[in-house]
Structure 1
Amino acid sequence: MTGSTARRDAPSTHKGRATRERIVAAAADLMYRQGVAGTSTPAVRDAAGVSSSQIYHYFADKDDLTRAVIAHQTETILSHQAPLLARLDSLAALDSWRAVVIETARRQGGVGGCPMGSLSSELADTHPWARDTLAAGFTAWAESIHRGLSAMIDSGVLRPDTNVRALSLALLAAVQGGLLLAQAQRTTEALEAALDTVIARIRDYTTEP
């Protein structure tokens, strides 16, 4: 069975859901640090403190587990980003979001990069089902940014002719490219430069000097 079709139904009990979530969290941590290819099912078993039979009870195969990890990482990132982006009612709020993104990367020392970006780099070219799932996650992230910038138009901070879609994609690209360079260079300099450049462009659309 392949990851594009092999899926288990969600557990019906609280205990089952908790066990499944523990397996996914352990797999997500290992895949983030070691990559998907470098993460074996026995390693996930040991990290989660479960048996191999439990893993295969909840997941048809490793691709099925990886799909769950992608969903987990997407949900984790969006749940962290969404509240910040939902408060984008001013340029000060945008600067605060920028500060959180940079401080998070700085605390990590660039290690690991973006969990979704790392998964995409490893899987997108060889696993179409993973590419589709990751693309949907990035789209949801861009839409969260889009809603924030649109709120700034509604509140009169940005002009109505602001190209919100392009700026949303540019901000997301700045985050992804900046985190990738931070991973390689172990510095947030490129991330800061990319975000500052896009934010400066957003400032060009403010309704006041």
Structure 2
Amino acid sequence: MRPRLTAKGKQTRTRIVAEAAALMFEHGVAGTTVEDVQRAARVSASQLYHYFKEKKELVLAVVEHQIDEVLEAQQPLLSRLDSFEALQTWCDAIVALQEQRHCRGGCPIGSLASELSELEPEARDGLAAGFARWEARIRAGLQTMRERGKLAPEADPARLALGLLAALQGGLLLTQVRRETPPLRAALDMAMGHIRSFDAIRN
């Protein structure tokens, strides 16, 4: 069991993980060395080893960090996905973010998943749990819409949430490869079109 960290120790560990996450997002896990992280975080090898006995431990911490960062950044919109307008605003915000990034990097969680899923079972489990958290927040909004009579009774919030998240991930991947946002917009528009087919008021 690791010793309890001091306030300063927590700050140092947080800095290491944040710098590692930034490097791995830009260069990939395989393309990021422990020495790269040391330089970016301005720590010695002994300091890094104090917090992470091996690179695998650091990678798992990065997985957790990226999941928290993505969900926290989206929380203001995710917490209000209780209308078609709110869903569209969330989709538009994701497209706008990719435009700001010039379509580089894709999804921080998805990028880790594509690189680690077949290599690190623990990382895959963590990533699956992260996607489940994301999906649950979308599902909660859709469930609220159905309860308020905005979605038809036959709408399945769980299936719709899964489909929307899958469309998002596929769209992000093609947008990253093609360096343009139309694939992401098309994927989200198609998913939203399906969700709108359950509009209880218009139908």
Q: Calculate the TM-score normalised by the size of structure 1.
A: 0.93
Aligned positions, number: 202
Query: Aligned match of 1:162 in 144, 155, 160?
Result: 155
* Pairing 1:136–2:132 present: no
Query: Aligned match of 1:46 in 39, 42, 55?
Result: 39
Aligned AA (2:12): T
What CA distance in whole angstroms lies between the structure 1 residues aligned with 2:97 and 2:4? Answer: 33
Aligned AA (2:48): I
Aligned AA (1:202): I
Query: What is aligned with 2:77?
Result: 84
* % identical equivalent positions: 48
Aligned AA (1:151): T
**Range that drifts further, 74-83 or 113-122:** 74-83
Deviation of 1:108 (Å): 0.9
* Pairing 1:95–2:88 present: yes
The CA RMSD measured in Å over matched residues stands at 1.2
What CA distance in whole angstroms lies between the structure 2 residues aligned with 1:103 and 1:148? Answer: 21
What CA distance in whole angstroms lies between the structure 2 residues aligned with 1:118 and 1:128? Answer: 16
Deviation of 1:12 (Å): 2.6
What CA distance in whole angstroms lies between the structure 2 residues aligned with 1:199 and 1:131? Answer: 28
Query: What is aligned with 2:60?
Result: 67
Q: Which runs of 5+ in 2 are unaligned?
A: none
What CA distance in whole angstroms lies between the structure 2 residues aligned with 1:102 and 1:18? Answer: 33
Indicate conservation of the 8 Å contact 1:11/1:17, yes or no.
Answer: no
Query: Aligned match of 2:28 in 35, 39, 52?
Result: 35
What CA distance in whole angstroms lies between the structure 2 residues aligned with 1:54 and 1:187? Answer: 41
Q: Which runs of 4+ in 1 moved over 3 A?
A: 8-11
**Range that drifts further, 64-73 or 145-154:** 145-154
What CA distance in whole angstroms lies between the structure 2 residues aligned with 1:132 and 1:92? Answer: 33
Q: Calculate the TM-score normalised by the size of structure 2.
A: 0.96
Aligned AA (1:111): R
* Pairing 1:26–2:19 present: yes
Indicate conservation of the 8 Å contact 1:182/1:191, yes or no.
Answer: yes
What CA distance in whole angstroms lies between the structure 2 residues aligned with 1:162 and 1:80? Answer: 28
Deviation of 1:106 (Å): 1.1
* Pairing 1:196–2:189 present: yes
Cα shift readout 1:163-196 (whole Å, capped 9, x = no counterpart): 1111101111111111100110001101101101
Query: What is aligned with 1:4?
Result: none
